[in-house]
Amino acid sequence: MTSTDPLVSTEWLAANLGKPNVRVVDGTSKLPGILPLPKDDYLARHIPGAVFFDVDAVSDHSNPLPHMFPSAEQFGRDVGALGIGNDDTVVVYDSGGWTAGPRVWWMFLSFGKDVRILNGGLKKWVAEGRKVESGQATPKPATFKAAFDARRVRSMEQLVANLSSRAEQVIDARSNERYQGKAAEPRAGLRSGHIPGSLSLPFNKLFDSATGEMKSLEELRAAFAAAGVKLDAPIVTSCGSGISAAVLTLALYRLGVENPALYDGSWTEWGAAGGPPVATGPT
């Protein structure tokens, strides 16, 4: 069982902001074509002292799929350039729609660093009238030594093998319309539908859209139960490109699920033309 809830409150961050070992990270991301770009949003307004973690930059540039996990060496180098060391207390946030904050948290955890996530993100921070700033932060580079834990990520080959073994439950974080194949994918050229045998739990069912806060543990547990998920059996989360799947992963982690994994390539890989089998319709 996991022992620590990764979420911290805006009150906690406000009380600890500016301490020498506290590092704040803006991990906001958006789907391709949506403007302004996340980096431009960051430059216009962010929590004081926050650095911008670009999930597309901190990724495997040799892989044509979007923002795939980089090597441990690259992750350590890129994170160190953001002024983050192994002994720092790191708080990750996003715009408040859970758009990539959990992905950045899961990347840190996968590379050996336990970090925190701001519950409600920038949305709640601003709604409470807390201070923000603009412009580019210029942190002093630090040393970050990363070690990759392969248990936390799944490949397409592993998911294909799982079609027969059904050893792991696969949960799809996309909208149910996309899961059923009723809505076109936002990325061109992808087939519609879902991984055969996977379950549907849209990530936006796990947080309060009004406040940006993640729902209570009781509500999270009920949402997974309603989706047919067994919390005492192995779980892999998936989505469009490995971003919103981490919202499910975070919720599972908060519920004490041991080592939930994330399918990094997600539907961008699985749904490509000529890929593995695709199912449509309800669960």
Residues catalogued as catalytic: 239
Distance CA 205, CA 222 (A): 11
Token pair recorded at residue 265 = 């390539």
Amino acid at 24: V
Give the sheet arrangement for strand 22-26, strand by strand: 7-8, 116-118, 89-93, 22-26, 51-52
Token pair recorded at residue 259 = 């080592």
Between the CA atoms of 115, 150, 162 and 227, what dihedral angle is there, to the nearest 10 degrees? 0
Amino acid at 101: G
Burial of residue 122, with CB atoms counted within 10 A of its CB: 0-12 exposed, 13-18 middle, 19 or more buried: buried
Token pair recorded at residue 145 = 């030594």
